[in-house]
């Protein structure tokens, strides 16, 4: 099993968009679980928007992390032939609860690895919270959406520092930038940022993409956006 985390210390760079559509492209090839570990729960809103809030509150990633429920009991079926562990805003409390419970992240990793999926894709909050640190710890690959902004390299390096800490602890984690939500022109400029190893696939800004994420719908498989996610899927699985 492979665990891929989408992470960035900048907000608004397309983390949830990538998680939603990369997840769908991977599903064409692998049995995949998406896991929302962001208290802002936008991925949950995408995949499970018809599920009642009370139902989401009764079993979600918070219960899995704190051991109140088995992680496997927190899995929902979605309309996309993808399973999903949702998050609710209460997840924001998990850090103060588990901060000094050093075993909690190790339990999270073994719980994830005991699930019957080929690949788990995790969406994370844009800040150095417990949730993000735990996701880094359990990952084989971290994809960091990179947009063309003067803080880009800087934000990437901060994330890289966190990955290096886990590497020192013996973890094998690969970190890759994904040029994301950029125009074709800026996408070209990003290829010159040689401090950051980038995926070959760039995700270009597009209205079809923005609409699909807002409406919670799939992309047309003939669309440019879909072709990009399909190519990204091939690159990372």
Site for its own copies in 54-113 (CB under 8 A): 88-90, 92-93, 95-96, 99
User: Considering only residues 31, 126, 196, 206, which one is a binding residue for its own copies as defined by CB under 8 A?
Assistant: 126
Residue choice 60, 104, 129, 201 for contact with its own copies (CB under 8 A): 129
Question: DSSP labels for the chain?
Answer: -EEEEE--SSSSSSHHHHHHHHHHHHHTTS-EEEEE--TT-HHHHHH-TTS-HHHHHHSSHHHHHHTSS-GGGG-EE-TTS-EEE---GGGGGHHHHHTT-THHHHHHHHHHHTSS-SEEEEE--SS--HHHHHHHHH-SEEEEEE-S-TTHHHHHHHHHHHHHHHHHTT---EEEEEEEEE-HHHHHHHTT-TTS-B-S--EE--HHHHHHHHHT-PPPTTSHHHHHHHHHHHHH-
Is 154 a residue that touches its own copies (CB under 8 A)? yes
The distance of closest approach from Cβ of residue 93 to its own copies in the complex, given in angstroms and rounded to an integer, is 7
Rule CB under 8 A: is residue 53 a binding residue for its own copies?
yes
Closer by beta carbon to its own copies, 16 or else 78: 16
* Interface with its own copies (CB under 8 A): 9-12, 39-41, 45, 53, 88-90, 92-93, 95-96, 99, 125-129, 150-151, 154-155, 158
């Amino acid at each position: 099993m492979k665990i891929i985390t989408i992470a960035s210390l900048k907000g608004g760079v397309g983390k949830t968009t990538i998680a939603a559509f990369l997840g769908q492209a991977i599903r064409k090839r692998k049995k995949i679980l998406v896991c929302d570990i962001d208290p802002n729960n936008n991925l949950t809103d995408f995949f499970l928007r018809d599920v009642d809030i009370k139902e989401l509150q009764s079993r979600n990633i918070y219960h899995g992390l704190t051991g109140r429920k088995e992680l496997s009991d927190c899995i929902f079926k979605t309309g996309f032939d993808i399973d999903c562990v949702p998050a609710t805003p209460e997840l924001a409390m998990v850090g103060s609860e588990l901060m000094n419970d050093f075993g909690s992240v190790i339990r999270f990793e073994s719980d994830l690895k005991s699930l019957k999926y080929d690949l788990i894709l995790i969406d994370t909050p844009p800040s150095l919270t417990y949730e993000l640190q735990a996701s880094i710890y359990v990952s084989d690959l971290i994809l960091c959406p990179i947009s063309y902004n003067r803080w880009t390299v800087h934000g990437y390096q901060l994330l890289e520092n966190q990955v290096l800490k886990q590497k020192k602890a013996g973890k094998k984690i690969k970190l890759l930038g994904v040029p994301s939500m950029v125009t074709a022109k800026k996408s070209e400029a990003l290829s010159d940022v040689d401090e950051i190893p980038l995926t070959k696939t760039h995700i270009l800004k597009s209205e079809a993409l923005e609409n699909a994420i807002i409406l919670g719908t799939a992309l047309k498989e003939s669309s440019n956006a879909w072709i990009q996610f399909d190519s990204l899927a091939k690159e990372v699985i």
